[in-house]
Amino acid sequence: MRLPGKIDDYKDLIMALVTFRDETATGKALDEFTLPGLPESVTARELVRLRVREEVAKYNANPTRRFNGLVMPDGAEAELNGYRMPAPRGLDWERQADAAEAAFLRNGFILLAGERQIEDLDERVDLTADPVVSFIKLVPLVGG
């Protein structure tokens, strides 16, 4: 069956499959997950918030004393590649997303879409061209 009209008439129906990946500064993948059904173009802010919403939902489904997320929850302590919670508890994804936005603005992590560094949360990302979004956490130097 052939659909009537031009391809532009159906542009809003095109969805992207996106891979969210945590990487080291040298490009080694640490963890990743995919999300289907995203619009083909979103802002970097939307990507950060989507990523945080998904990781918090996964954690909240089975809270433990360890949270492997983009930013440290209130009351947690930093550990190697994650955060130690004082006790298992649910997290507020919007609070975590706000903290992630603030961390981005103070250079707490680098965001890459494909091979391109995103420098502004309002920058649009074409997810059909750059379906891999990488997050590289930056660690402050001791004494510097």
1: in domain: no
pLDDT value of position 144: 46
pLDDT value of position 25: 85
Note the pTM of the prediction, 2 decimals.
0.85
Sign for the pseudo-dihedral over CA of 27, 30, 35, 39: negative
Tell me which H or E stretch contains 79. Answer: strand 77-79
Total domains present in the chain:
1
pLDDT in tens, the chain (144 residues): 344 455 444 455 568 899 999 998 888 889 999 999 999 999 999 999 999 999 999 999 999 999 999 999 999 999 887 899 999 999 999 999 999 999 999 999 999 998 899 999 999 999 999 999 999 998 755 554
Q: CATH number of the domain that 48 lies in?
A: 3.10.20
142: in domain: no
59: in domain: yes
Local structure of residue 12 (DSSP, 8 states): G
Cα torsion 59, 93, 46, 50 to 10°: value is 20
Range of the domain at 104: 7-137
Nearest to 72 by CA among 82, 59, 63: 82
pLDDT value of position 27: 85
β-strand pairing of 15-23 with 29-39: antiparallel
CA distance 85 to 87: 5
